[in-house]
């Protein structure tokens, strides 16, 4: 019995005493891969609710967060008047006053306390003016409920 190697796509199968010709398959059987993927999917679906998502533990507020110096409080009244310590200022005069105050203590923060009836834009314009003139420690004063 001679096997010819001329055509490689033909596979010779020997069963018992007889020899049969069988063509080689040119397709991949993906059914076992699908079975494995479904098993993995089920495993992940079962274990996903059991995992603990990343929990961030925030620090507690305590005495360490109190500021060393009292802030400069800029009050904005209902009529959009700007006051510091009860004295009225225009925007240019306010900048001169703040520069003089911060020459002595550059770490002193500035806080804006605006009436709730004041338009949002006027408060933001004051904050923007302070930021443009390189006053970096600027914040808003809020009343806790």
For residue range 18-74, list pLDDT tens digits in order.
Answer: 666 666 777 888 899 999 999 999 999 999 888 776 555 655 655 555 667 788 888
> Closest Cα to residue 101, out of 62, 75, 70, 127?
70
- The two tokens of residue 15 are 């069963």
Q: What is the pTM of this model?
A: 0.52
For residue range 70-82, list pLDDT tens digits in order.
Answer: 888 888 888 888 8
| Close Cβ partners of 140 (under 8 Å, ≥ 6 residues apart) | 111, 112, 113, 114, 123
- 68-140: which CATH number, 3.40.50.10490, 3.20.20.70, 3.20.20.60, 3.30.420.270? 3.30.420.270
Instruction: Count H helices and E strands in the chain, helices first.
Output: 3, 7
pLDDT at 93 exceeding the cut of 80: yes
Find how far residue 125's CA is from the centre of its chain: 27
d(Cα 99, Cα 113) in Å, to the nearest integer?
A: 19
| Domain definitions of the chain by residue range | 10-46, 68-140
């Amino acid at each position: 019995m001679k096997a010819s190697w001329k055509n490689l796509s033909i596979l010779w199968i020997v069963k018992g005493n007889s020899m049969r010709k069988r063509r080689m398959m040119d397709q991949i059987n993906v059914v076992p891969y699908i079975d494995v993927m479904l098993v993995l999917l089920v495993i992940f679906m079962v274990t996903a609710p059991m995992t603990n998502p990343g929990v961030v533990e925030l620090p507690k507020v305590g005495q360490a967060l109190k500021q060393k110096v009292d802030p400069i409080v800029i009050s904005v009244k209902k009529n959009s008047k700007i006051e510091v310590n009860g004295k009225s200022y225009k925007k240019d005069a306010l900048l001169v006053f703040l520069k003089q105050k911060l020459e002595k203590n550059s770490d002193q923060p500035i806080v804006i306390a605006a009436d709730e009836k004041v338009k949002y834009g006027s408060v933001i314009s004051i904050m923007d003016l302070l930021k443009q003139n390189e006053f970096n420690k600027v914040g808003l004063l809020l009343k806790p409920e």
